[in-house]
Structure 1
Amino acid sequence: MFGSEVDAISERLVEKLARREGTTPAELHPPLYEVVDLEALDAVFASLHDGTTRDAGGRVEFEYEGYRVQVGDDETIVVDELEES
């Protein structure tokens, strides 16, 4: 993952969460795949067969270990700490 071009949104997301936690992607606990279907996430945001990007105007949002994670159709990834209530 490190030192190479990363295309899949799930790989970029795992790397971002690992940096946020001060760890490596392999050491994230629980593994992100136990919280969200990473293959489905990649499929939702994958380019079309002709290489163009999808323009669905949506996003996927979920919680992971004290964070609210948002992945937008423009491939932006936002990771914010959840506010305590």
Structure 2
Amino acid sequence: MVSKPPLDPRNDGSEDGMTSEPISKAISDVVIRAIAEKKGCEPANLTPPLYDVLDPDALDAMYGRSSPRTVFEYAGYQVTIHPNESITVIDTSR
């Protein structure tokens, strides 16, 4: 399988605050890095930790076997993981 190069997880400049990044490693890590970048903090400083919201191992296992569309809320953002192996992060406080 050919992996896609990672894109910069920072805001792409759109007014809606969306960010997309190909999944090139564990999806839970990609989600954590994207949210940390949006919040302007280190991934280790995110509160609550992702594991308080969902099971990161289960998320990684699910995307290791298939490519569903998954939507959940985490740290004030709506996270959508798309079947095309990208994520969208939208600030829900707007």
Q: TM-score, normalised by structure 1?
A: 0.73
Superposed CA offset, 1:36-77 (max 9, x none): 11111101111x5xxxxx3x5x31111112211111222211
- Structure (1 or 2) with the larger CA radius of gyration: 1
Q: TM-score, normalised by structure 2?
A: 0.66
Query: Could you say which residue in structure 2 is the equivalent of 1:8?
Result: 26
- Tell me whether 1:79 sits opposite 2:77 in the alignment: no
Structure 1: gaps spanning 5 or more residues: 1-5, 49-53
Structure 2: gaps spanning 5 or more residues: 1-23
Backbone CA RMSD of aligned residues: 1.7
Query: Could you say which residue in structure 2 is the equivalent of 1:51?
Result: none
Instruction: Give the percent of matched residue pairs that are identical in Structure 1 and Structure 2.
Output: 39
1: CA distance, partners of 2:76 / 2:70: 17
Q: What amino acid maps onto 2:71 in structure 1?
A: E
**Higher normalized strand content (fraction of residues):** 1
User: Within 5 Å, which residues of 2 pair with 1:62-73?
Assistant: 62-73=72-83
- How many aligned positions are there? 71
2: CA distance, partners of 1:27 / 1:83: 20
Contact 1:45-1:75 at 8 Å conserved across structures: no
2: CA distance, partners of 1:38 / 1:28: 14
